[in-house]
Amino acid sequence: MRRFDFVGGVAVVTGAAGGIGAALAHGLARRGAELVLIDRDAARLDAVADAIRAAHPGRPVQTEVVDLAAAPATASLGQRLRDRHPRIRLLVNNAGVALGGRFDEVTLDEFSWVIDVNFRAVVQLTHALLPALKAEPGAHLVTVSSLFGLIAPPGQVAYAASKFAVRGFTEALRHELVADGVGVTCVHPGGIRTRIARDARVGSGVDLVAYEAGRQRFERLLTIDPGVAAEVILRGVARRRGRVLVGWSAKLPDLLARIAPLGHGRLLAAIGSPSPVRPAAPPPHTPGSSTAV
């Protein structure tokens, strides 16, 4: 498959109001893409769009304020985008949310909220826009999983379940779309410096004092600039990489999980990796701002 061409193609990015999503939007604008940016946070989304328009006068930038936690709103978004853009060159399913707490400390509603945003919305929007991707020669699909789509630590059952689901969905879809000429990349970011620790929801049964102490410790591990992460991802897209791991905090746990599928948790704790050992620690990154997202 030839290298991906960003210039002049329509690129749809969810979770674009901050973090990796905003950085991806800026990176795509620099590469000549026409943008459709989606997030729940209207004010921050407008700020990102305005900054891109100022830096790239004349570059088409469309915004959509949508809460992807709501399936009807996601369905309506998919239909609008297909009507306006029958050919889409790049879809980046980047939006995501986090929930701190062990399985017995969160409600099923809280658990389902994470699954809805992190997985159901990815499936739903991809299904809606797949005809537009297939109609565009050289199109590409990106899903953002996580370090916790490679390993599954305590205190992150909902988040890890959603991100492992994204990983499996993407890997199977990659094989299905080969004949259609659509490239597929699954991204696993490590400790990206975003708002994840501050914006994460906390399970109803979590000890808030213990959670806050864990959050502050964990936030210090988020060291990779979102702009750096976005460039790694976009280089992977350009080269049609099937999988992109961002940072040593994703690559090392991935290696250990392969070497010791059942015992890597103890190894990670022993070497000080950002795999949380306390039950309420937030995940190491979030793709975008809260629910969008």
Per the DSSP assignment, residues forming a β-bridge with 142 are 92, 185
Which one-letter DSSP state was computed for residue 103? G
Give me the residue label for tokens 């392969």: 258
Query: Annotated catalytic residue: which of 159, 164, 169, 218?
Result: 159
Report which of 191, 193, 194, 177 is spatially closest to residue 142, judged by C-alpha positions. 177
Which amino acid is it at 251?
Answer: K
Report the SS3 class of residue 93.
Answer: strand
Cα dihedral 174, 120, 62, 15 in deg (nearest 10): -90
The answer to whether 141 and 173 are in contact (CB under 8 A) is: yes
Maximum Cα interatomic distance, the chain, rounded to a whole number of Å: 54
Distance CA 116, CA 88 (A): 24
DSSP letter for 281, please. Answer: P
CA distances from 225 to 20, 47, 58, 189, 246 (A): 9, 19, 28, 11, 11
Neighbours of 173 (CB within 10 A): 17
- Annotated active-site residue 211? The verdict is no
Active site residues: 159
